[in-house]
Chains A and B, each alone.
Chain A
Amino acid sequence: EVQLVESGGGLVQPGSPLKLSCAASGFTFSSNWLNWIRQAPGKGLEWVASINPDGSSTYYPDTVKGRFVVSKDNAKNTGYLQMNNLRSEDTAMYYCANGGYGYWGQGVMVTVSS
């Protein structure tokens, strides 16, 4: 059974860093792209980051470029989203999903507030 499990969320102050993890199982993680998507409370979906199978290429929207870094450790079957200089507008549920968006985690909440 394919599973994606996010962790690492919480309440942080503006300007702080936070690192999310996405533990994958049930499929060949090393051969798959990994995506991160977020959803602000009561709002729609926003794509946040993508990384190719070997981690050599990454993509971001302008809203997080320069602040967020996506990575993956294929030996540990785990993906990461390092979020720096967090802003109140980054408050959202963060989901990881496989390359084709067919599998999603349950999400982890990130709240940025003083």
Chain B
Amino acid sequence: DIVMTQGVLPNPVPSGESASITCRSSKSLVYKDGKTYLNWFLQRPGQSPQLLTYWMSTRASGVSDRFSGSGSGTYFTLKISRVRAEDAGVYYCQQVREYPRTFGGGTKLELK
């Protein structure tokens, strides 16, 4: 199984600053079509997860351009620019390169 490992944020993050969340996979998530099969989600307290980006860097419909995904085959970053109160919650990365699908353990973002 592909193991997804997420980093920790130095919380709390001052409002208006940037935050970068990291995720590492135990195997390359690049498929033969050249796409990188990594999703990022945000789960706000008491809510269902929300898809932020897919294929590593493509923003989902309606997602603010303050969220940007980047990375290589095994190391990924979700950058949040100009952090706002509504960005607080737990961020998860997920690989959809192969089965079983696996999630990272989550990274909590708290705002100051």
Residues of A within 8 A of B (CB): 35, 37, 44-47, 50, 59-62, 95, 100-102, 104-107
| Contact, CB under 8 Å: A59 / B48 | no
Question: Within 8 Å CB of B96, what residues of A?
Answer: 101
| Contact, CB under 8 Å: A44 / B103 | yes
* A59-B99, A102-B60 known; A45-B92 Cβ under 8 A: yes
Chain A residue with Cβ nearest B98? A59
State which of A50, A100, A106 has its C-beta within 8 Å of the C-beta of B99.
Answer: A50
Question: Within 8 Å CB of A104, what residues of B?
Answer: 48-50
* A101-B41, A101-B94, A102-B61 known; A47-B49 Cβ under 8 A: no
Q: Please, could you name 14 A-B residue pairs with CB atoms under 8 Å apart, sorted by A?
A: A44-B90, A44-B104, A45-B92, A45-B103, A47-B101, A95-B48, A101-B39, A101-B54, A101-B94, A101-B96, A102-B60, A104-B48, A105-B48, A107-B48
| Contact, CB under 8 Å: A45 / B100 | no
Residues of B within 8 A of A (CB): 1, 39, 41, 43, 48-51, 54, 60-61, 90, 92, 94, 96, 99-106
| Contact, CB under 8 Å: B54 / A100 | yes
| Contact, CB under 8 Å: B41 / A47 | no
With A44-B90, A45-B43 known, 16 other A-B pairs at CB within 8 A are A44-B104, A45-B49, A46-B103, A47-B94, A47-B100, A47-B102, A50-B99, A60-B100, A62-B100, A101-B49, A101-B51, A101-B96, A102-B51, A102-B54, A104-B49, A107-B48
| Contact, CB under 8 Å: B94 / A45 | yes
Question: Within 8 Å CB of B1, what residues of A?
Answer: 61
State which of A60, A61, A95 has its C-beta within 8 Å of the C-beta of B49.
Answer: A95
Question: Within 8 Å CB of B49, what residues of A?
Answer: 37, 45, 95, 101, 104
State which of A47, A60, A106 has its C-beta within 8 Å of the C-beta of B103.
Answer: A47
